[in-house]
Amino acid sequence: MRRGFEATDSVVTTLACEPPHNINDHASTTGEGILKSLAGTISQTGVNVIRGSCPYVIALGPEHAQTIYRDGWSIPDIQQKLYEDSKIHYSRVGPEQVSYAGERGNKLVNDHLYLTESPERIQVLVAGGPGKHSSFIPTFSTTQECSVRVSNI
């Protein structure tokens, strides 16, 4: 069960997002390596989600998804890894950015800014075609996701 829905449910989730940011990793042959590339791309200091209060999306390309799955990573494992490894140390941003994030609820935790409230807020899906590419899709600073069950037609 994810987001309160069964695997057999047809569900649509919407949220306001930026265009996808390509993550090109043709070199990694392990799930760990791919996840390091993903986290490195996500942890941009000027990213909209630096406020830490909204979700973001990781769209795994099929080849990356197969490697990560082969190596035993579950969706909760992926979410936890990206949550921890994409946090931004305060020294990478100016004090004004730390203050801005803090005024909007994203307080430093052990000298880091997390980019979403919890690992569960990271939406993981598989999309795309051949090639070792995935995407980071940041949302806007106050975006909230909305999921609804739809009827099969």
For 8-74, the three-class secondary structure string (H helix, E strand, C coil) is CCCEEEECCECCCEEEECCCCCCHHHHHHHHHHHHCCCCCHHHHCCCCEEEEECHHHHHHHHHCCCC
Predicted structure pTM score:
0.89
In which residue ranges of the chain is pLDDT below 70? Answer: 1-2, 141, 152-153
Q: What is the pLDDT of residue 146?
A: 86
Q: What is the pLDDT of residue 140?
A: 84
Q: What is the pLDDT of residue 51?
A: 82
Q: What is the pLDDT of residue 1?
A: 56
